[in-house]
Amino acid sequence: SGAKMRQGRALRSGKYMDPEADVKFSDVAGLGNIRVELEEIVDFFTHAEKFRRRGSRIPTGILLCGEPGVGKTLLAKAVAGEAGVNFFAISASQFVEIYVGVGASRVRSLYSEANQNAPAVVFIDELDAVGRTRGLTAGSGGQERDSTLNQLLTCLDGFEGKGQVITIAATNRPDILDPALVRPGRFDRKIYIPKPSLQGRIEILQVHAKSKPMGEGIDYRAVGQITAGMAGAQLAHIVDVAALAALRDGRTEVTTDDLLEAAQNEEGGQPDLHIRSDRVRRILALQEASMAAMAANCPDMEDIQLMSIVPRMGEEKGFVRFKADPLKFGYLESISRQGFLDHITVQLAPRAADELWNGADQISTVASDNVDIARKAARSFVRAGHSDRKELYGLNSGCWYRQRSIWDVDVEAQKILESCYARALEYLERNRSFVNVLVDRLLEKGSIWRPEFLQLVEQYAVLDKRRSSP
C-alpha cells in the first residue's frame, strides 16, 4: 500500500479524510471552559484573513491532553465541523512501521492530502507513539521513529497551507513528548481535558440520551453518582447498553433502572473483583447484607435498588443504594419519627451483624463509619424534639454556654442508639439465614439488583408485623 500512497490522489477522496465527521460543539458535553478555548480556534478558520491582516499569529498545532475516552477526538471533529472544514485523522501508531521510511511517507501523504483539501483539520491521535523524546529507543525502531518525527516537524513548519491547515494532536503523555514538538509554531497550545465531574457526567449522559427513547423523569443524577471516575466514552456506552436492554425487553422507553444496570456493568468503572482478599470481601458483604436486610423491615427504606461489594472510584467500600431520593436522608428533619429510628437502626446493622457473626470480642472497625452516621442522626433526632425530653428541641450544638444541655443531648442520643441497636440485634438474629443468603449472593456475583432482592425478601425474610402500618 506504500506504493499506492505515493501516487497522490484526487481532491476530496483521500484515504485519511473522514467525511462522516459532522460533529458540532453541542455534541460535546460537560467540558465547560475547554469548549470556549476551542471555539477560538474555529474563529481562526472562519476569519483567517482578518487575523492575518492584523498580524496575529495563527496557531498551527493544538495538543489535547487527557486519558482515553474523555472526548479528544470528538473535540477535534467538532472544531472541523463548526468551522465547516475537512477533517483528516490518523493514529500516530500507524506511523510507526518496521520499515524505515514508511512512517515518514505516510506523514507526507497525510499532509499533502490535507493541503489539497484546505482549509482542514488534521487530527493525530496518540502523538506520543511517534513524538517520544528522540534517541530514547535503541535499534531500528528508534531510527524509524526519528525519521517519522522529523517528517512531522517539517510538515508542521511547512509554508504550504499555513493557516489553512491546523493540526490537533491527542496524547495521554505530554510529559514524554520530544521538546521539538512543543516549540512555538508547532504544538504550542496545550489543553488538558480532565475526566468529567458529576455535573459533567450528567450533561454527557443527557447529550447521548437525546437520540434515545428515554422515559419521563430519568434520574440522571443517580447515574452520574455511581459513575464517578468514568470518561465520556464509557458514559456514551452506558446509554447505548441501556437502550438495547429496553429494546431487548420489548419496552418502548428507556428507564433509570436500565441506565443504572448498564452503569453497574460498565467495564473500566468496575475494577477487578479479585483485587480484594476473600476476608475483606466477606466483611464487606456482611456489612451490606445486614444493612439491606434491616432496611427490608423498614417501610421508608425498603426501596433498595442495588447493593454491591464491587469497589468503585470514590467508593472505598461497598454500598447499598436506596431507590428513594438519595438526598432524603440528608434532610433528616423532614422525615417521620419512625423513619428516623429506622434510618438509625439500618446504620447500626453492620455493627450488630459484626457482633452476631464474629463475636463481641472480634468486632472490627469496618462498621465505625456507619456508627458515626447513626450517632449523628440520633443527635438530630433528639434535637428535632422526637425523644422523651422534648425540651431539647432545637438545641444548637454550637452554643458553648449550653454545655450542660449538649451533654443532655448526647445522653439522650445514646439511649436512642442503644434501643435501636437492640432492635438491630434482635432482628438480625431472627434473620440469620436471610443475611447469609445475601452474603453468599454478593460474594458470588458482586452485586444484587432490586428484582432479585425482592425475591429473596419474599423467600427468606422474617419481617416485623408492624411493617404494614403507616
Distance CA 470, CA 461 (A): 20
Is 73 a binding residue for ligand ADP by CB under 6 A? The answer is: yes
**Residue 389 identity (one-letter amino acid):** R
Contact window for ligand ADP (CB under 6 A) among 24-32, 39-47, 112-120, 452-460: 24-32
Is 309 a binding residue for ligand ADP by CB under 6 A? The answer is: no
Between 68 and 268, whose beta carbon lies closer to ligand ADP? 68
Among 105, 186, 183, 91, CA closest to 144: 105
Between 125 and 146, whose beta carbon lies closer to ligand ADP? 125
Is 163 a binding residue for ligand ADP by CB under 6 A? The answer is: no
Is 204 a binding residue for ligand ADP by CB under 6 A? The answer is: yes
Is 170 a binding residue for ligand ADP by CB under 6 A? The answer is: yes
Between 79 and 309, whose beta carbon lies closer to ligand ADP? 79
Contact window for ligand ADP (CB under 6 A) among 231-239, 243-251, 285-293, 419-427: 231-239
194 grid coordinates: 480532565
Distance CA 371, CA 402 (A): 25
Contacts made by residues 357-361, CB under 8 angstroms, sequence distance 24+: 357/286
Is 269 a binding residue for ligand ADP by CB under 6 A? The answer is: no
24 grid coordinates: 458540532
Is 443 a binding residue for ligand ADP by CB under 6 A? The answer is: no
Is 121 a binding residue for ligand ADP by CB under 6 A? The answer is: no
Q: How far is CA 270 from CA 21, 23, 199, 222, 234, in A?
A: 31, 30, 21, 17, 11
- Per DSSP, the three-state class of 198 is helix
Options 17, 21, 29, 202; binder of ligand ADP; rule CB under 6 A: 29
Residues belonging to the active site: 288
- Burial of 141-152, coded b for 16+ CB within 10 Å and e otherwise, reads eeebbbbbbebb
Pair 424, 352: CB distance under 8 Å: yes
Is 68 a binding residue for ligand ADP by CB under 6 A? The answer is: yes
Q: How far is CA 353 from CA 24, 87, 138, 160, 423, in A?
A: 54, 60, 60, 74, 12
The least CB distance from residue 242 to ligand ADP, in Å, is 14
- Binding-site size for ligand ADP (CB under 6 A) equals 18
DSSP letter assigned to residue 194: P
Among 54, 58, 108, 112, CA closest to 83: 58
Site for ligand ADP in 233-252 (CB under 6 A): 233, 236
SS3 content of the chain, % helix, strand, coil (to 5): 55, 10, 35
**Residue 260 identity (one-letter amino acid):** L
Is 72 a binding residue for ligand ADP by CB under 6 A? The answer is: yes
Pair 320, 339: CB distance under 8 Å: no
Between 170 and 293, whose beta carbon lies closer to ligand ADP? 170
Between 66 and 174, whose beta carbon lies closer to ligand ADP? 66
Is 69 a binding residue for ligand ADP by CB under 6 A? The answer is: yes
Distance CA 182, CA 163 (A): 18
Taking CB under 6 A as the rule, which mask of x and - marks residues 31-60 in contact with ligand ADP?
x-----------------------------
Q: How far is CA 209 from CA 255, 259, 311, in A?
A: 11, 10, 27
Q: Tell me how many degrees the CA angle 260-264-266 measures, rounded to the nearest 5.
A: 115
Name the residue with the smallest CB distance to ligand ADP: 232
**Residue 200 identity (one-letter amino acid):** G
Options 38, 92, 207, 222; binder of ligand ADP; rule CB under 6 A: 207
Between 28 and 377, whose beta carbon lies closer to ligand ADP? 28
Q: How far is CA 93 from CA 37, 134, 431, in A?
A: 27, 16, 58
Is 263 a binding residue for ligand ADP by CB under 6 A? The answer is: no
Between 239 and 260, whose beta carbon lies closer to ligand ADP? 239
Contact window for ligand ADP (CB under 6 A) among 29-37, 249-257, 336-344, 442-450: 29-37
DSSP letter assigned to residue 93: G
Between 65 and 435, whose beta carbon lies closer to ligand ADP? 65
**Residue 26 identity (one-letter amino acid):** S
The least CB distance from residue 281 to ligand ADP, in Å, is 32
Is 230 a binding residue for ligand ADP by CB under 6 A? The answer is: no
Contact window for ligand ADP (CB under 6 A) among 55-63, 70-78, 84-92, 413-421: 70-78
Between 28 and 437, whose beta carbon lies closer to ligand ADP? 28
Is 71 a binding residue for ligand ADP by CB under 6 A? The answer is: yes
Is 30 a binding residue for ligand ADP by CB under 6 A? The answer is: yes
Q: Binding residues for ligand ADP, per CB under 6 A?
A: 28-31, 66, 68-74, 170, 204, 207, 232-233, 236
